[in-house]
Structure 1
């Protein structure tokens, strides 16, 4: 360490180290000397960094504060283009039944406003089954293999759906956790949700949390879709928006 650093009280040294970016702490500072390695591997430094950034948890102690910090720092929606702002960009395996997928502005005909003002558009299905999927590469998003295998952080999935008040429709959600070879390690499949004609057109949230799913998860495959039940030409099927997948501490 720099001259005099080794004589600093540990609490002062922790405050200094806490001002350094986390990646540098792990990749550089750990290697400086035995004392710094112990501090970077210990809880106190990461508890302070969590406090500084406003990352809190209900329990008084995390199993691993370093992992908790990194997971909190990385936390974001891993679904790209969840609300149709970029048309169908980033969505794959698109199945365009009937007249296919369409993007419309909220609230839409015979529709309701979305609960969040940040959401302006939605995807809408047609008179035969429409489906679309997105595969999330966890490693590419910064969730390294050891973290996924050892910590097995919760994977939270959310989606929102609604019908038109003048048309009945169907909705389905299927999410799979996949290995490197794309073997299915865990799966959540909703029932087929049936929305009757003359419904209230309110937006409904559906959610699922994966936990204790075992080692080996490298990808998350998110798929949803639906159609109308009247077989009317056009776009009278289920509406979906604000889909999200987050990896949480």
Structure 2
């Protein structure tokens, strides 16, 4: 198949109407890379769960847990850069002279990835002139360990990996008055952003609690996908 035939195949397969398609692009190689519609994040479900089934119910501990407290959940975090931040005790609610047997200790657990858009098959003219929709999706567990249990920050970065071209931040607040243990979706579409985007930095933080046992907040089916469309131009 000739170079022009591969180019035409890519155009027809992905519906690339109005998208710059320069001859400098290896369209045969690009066709195999499948840059559109697939999840560009690696290991999107590090806890081995899916949002299509209910999250597991927490295990309740009848006796105090011996040993140091836990601050990190279990999972396979391959391809993720992880870190934790232990939150100091909030003693403001303890009355003077009060005695506390067990007090919750909270921590943030962070997972992040950097997606190289050109390495994933996207080309300069597409990113700078057409600016396709970049769809961000995430599912977090409504663990109810605290009123603030989840944060998501996604940045579109320039070639230097430092310049922020566009940014999305989610910091939802949970309703603790009614028990509702389910998955909650976070969805955002980057569109109409300025030229120069080369990387997507994906970072989410999950709040965990330790008190007579470890109670994590889980996440699953995280995704960054590119659509051959532009919805805000």
Instruction: Tell me whether the two structures share a fold, i.e. TM-score over 0.5.
Output: yes
Mapped partners of 2:213, 2:113: distance in 1: 25
1:62-73 residue pairs with structure 2 within 5 A?
Answer: 62-64=17-19, 73=34
Q: How many residues are treated as equivalent by the alignment?
A: 174
C-alpha contact 1:171 1:194 (8 A) present in aligned 2: no
Residue aligned with 1:149, SS: helix
Asked which structure has the greater RCO (Cα within 8 Å, sep 6+), the reply is 2
- What SS does the aligned partner of 1:146 have? helix
RMSD between aligned alpha carbons?
Answer: 3.3
Aligned residue in 2 for 1:163: 142
Please list every run of 5 or more consecutive structure 1 residues that lacks an aligned counterpart in the other structure.
1-19, 31-39, 99-125
**Native 8 Å contact 1:127 1:236 kept in 2:** no
Query: In the TM superposition, what are the counterparts of 1:1-249 in structure 2 within 5 Å?
Result: 20=1, 24-26=2-4, 45=8, 50=12, 53=13, 55=14, 62-64=17-19, 73-75=34-36, 76-84=38-46, 85=48, 87-92=76-81, 94-98=82-86, 127-164=106-143, 167-168=145-146, 170-181=149-160, 182-196=162-176, 198-228=178-208, 231-232=210-211, 234-249=213-228
Match of 2:149, SS state, is strand
After TM superposition, the score normalised by the length of structure 2 is 0.63
Unaligned runs of 5+ in 2: 49-74, 87-104, 229-233
Distance of 1:141 and 1:134 partners within structure 2 = 14
Residue equivalent to 1:108: none
Q: Per-residue displacement from partner, 1:155-205 (whole Å, max 9, x unpaired)?
A: 00000011336x335111100000011200000001243352752111111
**For the pair shown, which has the larger CA radius of gyration, 1 or 2?**
1
Q: Once the 2 structures are TM-superposed, how far is the Cα of residue 134 of structure 1 from its aligned partner?
A: 0.4
CA distance in 1, matches of 2:177, 2:142: 8
SS state of the match for residue 121, structure 2? coil
How far apart, in 1, do the equivalents of 2:216 and 2:175 lie? 10
Q: Is the 8 A contact 1:227 1:236 kept in 2?
A: no
Q: Residues of 2 paired with 1:46 and 1:149: CA distance?
A: 23
Over 3 Å counting, the alpha-carbon distance change for 1:158 and 1:233 in structure 2 is farther
TM-score between both structures, scaled by the size of structure 1: 0.59
SS, match of residue 64 in structure 1:
coil
Q: Residues 26-85 of structure 1, C-alpha deviation per residue, up to 9 Å, x if partnerless? A: 4xx69xxxxxxxxx6xxxx459x63xx5x56xxxx9323959x96994221011001015
Distance 1:164 1:191, change over 3 A: closer
**Contact 1:170/1:237 (<8 A) preserved:** no
Q: Which has the higher helix share?
A: 1
